Structure formats: C-alpha cells, structure tokens
Structure 1
Amino acid sequence: MTDSVPDRVRRAIERSGATRREFATGIGLDETKLSKSLAGRRRFTTDELAAIAARVGIPLTELVRPVVTATPGPSVRPAPVDDPDGARKRILDAAWTLIAERGYHQVRVADVANAAGTSSAAVHYHFPGKEALLGEALRHNVELAFDRQSAALADLPDPHARLLRLLDLQMPDGPVLEPEWSIWMQVWVEAVLDAAPDDQRRRELYREAQDRWFRTVLMTLHDGAEAGAFRAGDQELRARQLTALVDGLGIGVMTRASDVAEMRAALRDFVDHTIVRGDHP
C-alpha cells in the first residue's frame, strides 16, 4: 500500500462513507480539483488538508507526514466538540477578529454575537463568558497554526529550507498572521498584569503555545545539525535565541518601529551567521 498524501486523503474519504462529490461539497472544494489532487496532478493546499482532516475527525498529522512540527500541549489543545451547524466556529472566528482589531477589553459578547450572525444567548450557550471565549479562541488559533505549519513544511526535506519557511510563517504580515500577533501581544500584557485565576490560565496557555513553537524550531535545528547543514553545538540555546529574536522583531513590526522586510533580513542574517555551517552551500 502506498502512503502519499493523496493516498491518505483517499482512505480518509473512504472512511467517511461519502462519495467524492459529497465530500468535496462538504469541504467547499470543487470536485474537479479534488479529483486532480487525488490523481497527483494538483497539490492539496494547507487549508484543504485541514478541512479534510476536520471533516473526517482526524488529526492533520494523519494526512501530512513526516511530522516536522511539535504537537500542542494539553492546555492549548482544543477538546473535540460537536458543532454540526458550524455556529461555535463562527463565534470563535468572530471573536478572534474583533479582539485583534479592537482589543480584548473593547469587545462585548453582544459584539461577537452580532459579528457571528447569532444571539448573545447562543454565544453563552457555547461559552460561559468572555474569558472562556478568549481562551477557546486562543486554543483554536494554536491548532490552526500547527495545521498550517505541518502542511507547509512536510514537503521540505532540507532543514535549511524548512527553517526559512518556518520563519516566514511567523511574520506578522497579512490577514491571518497580523491579527494573530495582535492577539498574542494582548495575551502577553494580560498575563503580566494580574494573578487572578483567569490570568494564571492564560499564562499556562501562553507557556504551552510558546513551548510548541520552541520545540518546532528545535526539531528543525536538530535535523539540520544531523544532516550536516547546521553548526554543531547547543541547539537548545540557538532555538532560545532564534525564538526570542522572532518575538522581539515581531513586536517592532507590530508597533511600526520596523517592517516585515527588515524583520526577514535580520532573521536571515542570524540564520546565515549563527546557524548554517560556513561551508554549507
């Protein structure tokens, strides 16, 4: 039995019991595109693979291998929830967008309900309060970032190319990543200010999310050192340095003290002079 991405998707569709047409419709994908991807004439996109995994109820890693990203820890891994009409996801997406744009303290449950096209009662049905909504939105985001990285990096066997792609996926640029940075910067501030139970939970969530990012970088550095592409030495130290550099440079971009091009140039310079071996092409 072969084990390419199209093969795994084909088995997932068979497991669902749906026809290809039904399955394509269910994930919002043109049936012709699905057929071409299954035949190997077209590549599945990251969003398509994530939608397929969600539709079948399996981890994305069952479709994308090898696994080159660290899995989320228990505090940031969303619990499976039955959401047949997609209302819960619409609420999470609306909350995420509003908090990123306005700031956590400026968003009311009524605002989220209005943006999601539902009622405040429906929001409270899924989430006891705004704190719970924020926590689930953060967990949802960590899972999406994991899915995005898993799908984008799996086809890059060269650790150097994989590291550069991973860093590009962290740039605070575009309609997905810039709001993510806005949210996490707000979480940092909230986690520092108080020691109430909700703040402690946010700290734990942030620690586990940051740890997943750190372990993903560390996996890549270890792979590069074993392949002879990266310098030997303390890879944990270099992972700490690199992740801290990403955080600091990202804050500079978000506060308009610098831009994405300057951030990318600084990161490439660090990789070239600190991580990559001098004799590596």
Structure 2
Amino acid sequence: MQHTAGGHGAVGRTPGSHAASDRLQDSAGEIAERVRKVVEATGCSQREFARRVVMDPSKLSRSLSGTRRFTVAELARIADAGEVDAGWLLGSGGAEPTTPAAAVHSSSTTGADSTGTDSTGTEGPNATAPSPAPRTPVLPSAGRPLQIVRETVRLIAEHGFHAVRVADIAAACDTSTAAIHYHFPGRAELLEAAVRWCMDEDTASRAARIAEAGADEDAAAELRELLALQTPRTEQQRRQWLVWLDLWAEAARSTAIGRLHVDYYRQWRTTVADVIRRGIAQGVFRAVDPEFSALRLTALIDGLASQVLAGAAGAEDGTGPDDMYAALLAHMRTELLPTNVD
C-alpha cells in the first residue's frame, strides 16, 4: 500500500499472497478440513470461533461447507486464534499440530505474536510458529487480530475512520504495517472488523445483563437496565458510540457495512421488542405493538446518544448522559407503563 497523507490509498497484497491465493484455489476442500480441525480443537461453537477471529459466522459456515473459499487474511486470523502454523493451514508446509489448538495470548497488549515471525521479524504465512506445549484448550480471546481490531476501534473513536492510517494502527500495536495487511488486507476489512467487534461486545453485554437478571426480574426493570447500557457514560460506551457514528456514514455508501448495520439493528430491535412483549404478558406494560414501540425507542436512543456525544465534544448547553437517561425513562413511562404507575 502507498499511504497518502490521509491514509486513503488502496492496500496492496502482502508478499507471497499471490502464491497463497493460488493454493487456496487448488485445495479449498483440504483447507476447509484443516480449519474444521482447528475449530473443533478449541472446543467452541462455529459462531463463537467466528466472533473470536472477527469473521462473519455465515462466511465461516459457507467456507467450511465448500461453497465459499477462505481468504488468505481469514486463514491468517484462524491460524493466530488456533496457534497453528499458517503454512500448515494453506498446505504449503509446516507440521500438523500434535496437540489441540490452544488459546491465543491472554493479553491484547504488545508482546509475542502467536502468528510467529521469520528470521527478519516479518509476520506472514511462511513464518514458523513454535511448537505448542501440551495444554488444555480454552476459548481464544485475544491475539494479534483482536489487538489490531481493538486499537482500530480506539483510533476511530478518537480521530474518525478516514483520519486513521494503517501506519497509526501498526504503531499502536507495536508492529509493522505488513503485519496489519497480513490479517486485514484493506481499510474496508478493518472497518468491518471494528464494527463487528463493537456489535459483538454490545450483544455480549446485553446477554450478560439478561442472564444476570434471571427470571425473577420484571421486564420493566430489565428495560431500564438495557437503557442504562445504551447511555454513553463510560469510556468504553462512548468509544463504541463514536464508532457507530462512523458506521452510519459508511453504511450509506458501503454494501458490506450496510448489511452489518441492518443485521445489528434487527437483533437490537428484536431484543427490545421481546422485553416489551414479556412486560405486556407480565402486566407491567400496556398492550402496545412491541415491534413498533421498539422501533421508536431505539430511534430515540440513537438520537439522544448523538446529542450526548456532541455535548461532550464541547457544544454549549449540550445533552448529558443524565439528561439522556431521564428522557428515555420519561418515554418509557408515558408510552409503556400503565397510566396508574408513576
């Protein structure tokens, strides 16, 4: 890639990627079988493994079934997550793992990279990973790809997507631009991965909150908690919302990001509608249309969050997190709660 001042140049292929691409064409079935072994060795589901390697679960499923070919970058991330030799995945050399695929590094900060390096320190498909010591496999949770994604999210939140260069991400990860391209060949892949990671984090937070609440908590209390989770108070919440602002702009121009946008909001509105539906059955909410009420409420959340972020950026008389949460509770009170409930 030739970087412009703004970092908008097209990313070129990493050295050797043409040969790697040819191998993908020749042995797609064998590669899929090797990937399946890696997924099975981690002990997690395909969907969870896809989340850990920042990959669309449907793409992983289609690639494993033979209706889609893995890209070189996807295989690089899979090798990293399973701590296996990328050359072995490609069928170009490297020893087959003799122990189950293990977790990637427990820290997303700088340190040894599980993809391995060659004698020049360059990460790539020809790098030889050290033989893993026998150990009990656990779910992959970090490693170079997720470190790259997390730093990309942080930089996008601070500067905006189009102001972030690949060189900036490499510096934040204490690695080379070639290592970034190895895992994510272009800016589009980086944005999609960053958006998907934010989606997964948000979904995981909601799922944890619902599981924590258990069956004893009524739907009204659960909805209040979900509204609190969507109010940008913490640094992490603000960071995710800032990435969403870039997502909305890109979704209007990018088919891939647009699909992610639609999929995420379908899931989010379904979650809210399900809570409302449960509240109606419990008698804590009025008999409203759950889907339409969820649409209105999620739209209100988006608009208010944008105002909170603008206020934090220095706008006078801006809306604060407390104002947002109070407005959401007022909407819930007037639109959902029975008229005899304060």
Where is the helix percentage greater, Structure 1 or Structure 2? Answer: 1
1:278 and 1:220 map into 2 onto residues whose CA distance is 19
Other-structure match for 2:308: 253
Other-structure match for 2:250: 190
User: For the pair shown, which has the larger CA radius of gyration, 1 or 2?
Assistant: 2
Q: Alpha carbons of 1:81 and 1:224: their partners in 2 closer, same or farther (altered >3 Å)?
A: farther
Q: CA deviation at 1:178?
A: 0.3
Q: Is the 8 A contact 1:171 1:177 kept in 2?
A: yes
Q: How does 1:1-281 map to 2 (within 5 A)?
A: 57-58=44-45, 81-82=78-79, 83=81, 84=104, 85=114, 86-156=143-213, 157-192=217-252, 194=253, 199-256=254-311, 257-280=318-341
1:162 and 1:211 map into 2 onto residues whose CA distance is 19
Other-structure match for 2:108: none
2:243 and 2:330 map into 1 onto residues whose CA distance is 28
1:77 and 1:212 map into 2 onto residues whose CA distance is 16
Using the size of structure 2 for normalisation, the TM-score is: 0.57
Q: CA deviation at 1:190?
A: 2.4
Q: Is the 8 A contact 2:284 2:337 kept in 1?
A: yes
Q: CA deviation at 1:137?
A: 1.2
Q: Alpha carbons of 1:77 and 1:265: their partners in 2 closer, same or farther (altered >3 Å)?
A: farther
Q: Is the 8 A contact 1:113 1:119 kept in 2?
A: yes
Gaps of 5+ in 1: 1-54, 62-73
1:56 and 1:173 map into 2 onto residues whose CA distance is 36
1:60 and 1:154 map into 2 onto residues whose CA distance is 19
**AA paired with 1:99?**
I
- Computed over aligned residues only, the root mean square deviation of the Cα atoms, in angstroms, reads 2.3
2:262 and 2:210 map into 1 onto residues whose CA distance is 23
Q: Is the 8 A contact 1:77 1:139 kept in 2?
A: no
Q: CA deviation at 1:255?
A: 0.9
Using the size of structure 1 for normalisation, the TM-score is: 0.69
Provide the aligned length of Structure 1 versus Structure 2.
Answer: 210
Q: CA deviation at 1:155?
A: 2.7
2:47 and 2:187 map into 1 onto residues whose CA distance is 29
- SS across alignment from 2:223: helix
Q: Alpha carbons of 1:120 and 1:191: their partners in 2 closer, same or farther (altered >3 Å)?
A: same
Q: Is the 8 A contact 1:75 1:205 kept in 2?
A: no
2:319 and 2:301 map into 1 onto residues whose CA distance is 13
- SS across alignment from 2:230: coil
Q: CA deviation at 1:207?
A: 1.1
Q: Alpha carbons of 1:76 and 1:152: their partners in 2 closer, same or farther (altered >3 Å)?
A: same
Q: Alpha carbons of 1:78 and 1:120: their partners in 2 closer, same or farther (altered >3 Å)?
A: farther
Q: Using CA pairs below 8 Å that are at least 6 residues apart, which structure has the higher relative contact order?
A: 1
Q: Alpha carbons of 1:214 and 1:104: their partners in 2 closer, same or farther (altered >3 Å)?
A: same
Deviations along 1:199-241, whole A, 9 cap, x unmatched? Answer: 1111111111111111110110011011111101211111111
Q: Is the 8 A contact 2:284 2:338 kept in 1?
A: yes
Consecutive aligned runs of 4 or more in structure 1 exceeding 4 Å deviation: 58-61, 74-80
- SS across alignment from 1:255: helix
Gaps of 5+ in 2: 1-41, 49-54, 61-76, 82-103, 105-113, 115-142, 312-317
**AA paired with 2:302?**
D
**AA paired with 2:241?**
W
2:167 and 2:58 map into 1 onto residues whose CA distance is 27
Q: Is the 8 A contact 2:219 2:284 kept in 1?
A: yes
**AA paired with 1:130?**
R
